[in-house]
Amino acid sequence: MLGPVPPLRSMARGTIPPPGAAAPALSVRHAVKSYGPVLAVADASLDVPAGQVVGLLGPNGAGKSTLMKIVLGIVRADSGTVQVLGREMAPEAVETKAQIGYVPESPLLYEFLTGAEYLDFVADMYGMDPRTRRERIGQYLTALELAGHENSMISGYSQGMKQKIALISALVHRPRLLVLDEGLNGLDPRSARIVKDLLRSLARQEGVGVLFSTHVLEIAQAICDEVVILHHGRVLATGTVAELRGRAGLPGSGLEEVFLSLTGTGDLGEIVAALAR
């Protein structure tokens, strides 16, 4: 059983020293990746400054997940460079990878373990001492309303509960860079709000860089300092929401209208009319 749960407000205290002030949490330059004749990522460059939340937006098939896997070293780019915390990312860069937290779009968990066993396994892989892991895991379980379910098999969890376990496993070691591919999928409104507030707290107070992919543009508009729009594998636009509004010629508009305008999918009237017949 997990021990007593310290107050949630202590969750943002990092134990990994922050990177040098000059180095962004993530820097991608001219990344290219093809799968046969399909160009998935085409000369993509972006930065995630330490202490900022950067939203990665794009239509289905734009290359967001592939670009994130390149960042993590899961997929090797055909060309281009990736630096994490000022260090070149390479297959053997174990120390650097240990400072990243990742939630994939469709997390695959060891479902024959209980939630507590899985999180204990993850913490052990990061070399966390037993007391620290108990405290941190207990904090997250309580905050995300999983306390009381941690000793049940993951195979019996709902999709939202599995997503919470994936989020905890990405956060428990206090990473300096967080990469979340649709990280709020399946969460109830309360848990989603807690995670959004926590991401902003980690960025503002601890200097964590966050690369956050989502299809829910309202979420991106609410929590992201900058937005990167990816389209057909290329970075179409980068900037704050206000800057992108100006570029699209839509001052005062929401991010949804800006996104549709910049990706060339803004004129949906004919499609909707045809479907309504």
Distance CA 128, CA 120 (A): 9
Question: Strand 87-88 to strand 79-84: parallel, antiparallel, or no bridges (unpaired)?
Answer: antiparallel
Q: How do the domains of the chain map onto residue ranges?
A: 8-239
The pLDDT value recorded for residue 4 is 38
Output b/e per residue, 15-39; b: 16+ Cβ within 10 A: eeeebeeebbbbbbeebbbeeeeeb
Distance CA 273, CA 251 (A): 27
> Does pLDDT of 194 surpass 50?
yes
Q: What are the tens digits of pLDDT across the range 153-168? A: 999 999 999 999 999 9
| Residue 100: CB atoms within 10 Å | 23
- How would residue 177 be classed by pLDDT, with cut points 50, 70 and 90? very high
Q: Could you give the C-alpha distances from 131 to 75, 123, 127, in angstroms and in order? A: 35, 11, 12
From the candidate CATH numbers 3.40.50.10310, 3.40.50.300, 3.40.50.720, 3.40.50.9100, the one assigned to the domain spanning 8-239: 3.40.50.300
Q: What are the tens digits of pLDDT across the range 217-237? A: 888 888 999 999 998 999 988
Output b/e per residue, 144-176; b: 16+ Cβ within 10 A: bebeebbeeebeebeebbbbbbbbbbbbbbbbb
More confident residue, 145 or 251: 145
Calculate Rg over the CA atoms of the chain: 19
Task: Please classify residue 272 by burial: count the beta carbons closer than 10 Å to its beta carbon, then call 0-12 exposed, 13-18 middle and 19+ buried.
Answer: exposed
Q: Provide the mean pLDDT of the chain.
A: 85
The 3-state DSSP class for residue 256 equals helix
For every residue of 57-108, DSSP letters joined together read E--TTSSHHHHHHHHHTSS--SEEEEEETTEE--TT-HHHHTTEEEE-SS--
> Does pLDDT of 23 surpass 90?
no
- Region 100-126 average pLDDT: 94
| Residue 253: CB atoms within 10 Å | 16
Residue among 247, 184, 205 nearest 9 (CA): 205
Lowest-confidence pick of 55-59, 128-132, 214-218, 237-241: 214-218
Q: Which residue has the tokens 């993850």?
A: 122
CB 238 within 8 A of CB 81: no
| Residue 185: CB atoms within 10 Å | 20
Single-letter code of the amino acid located at 173:
H
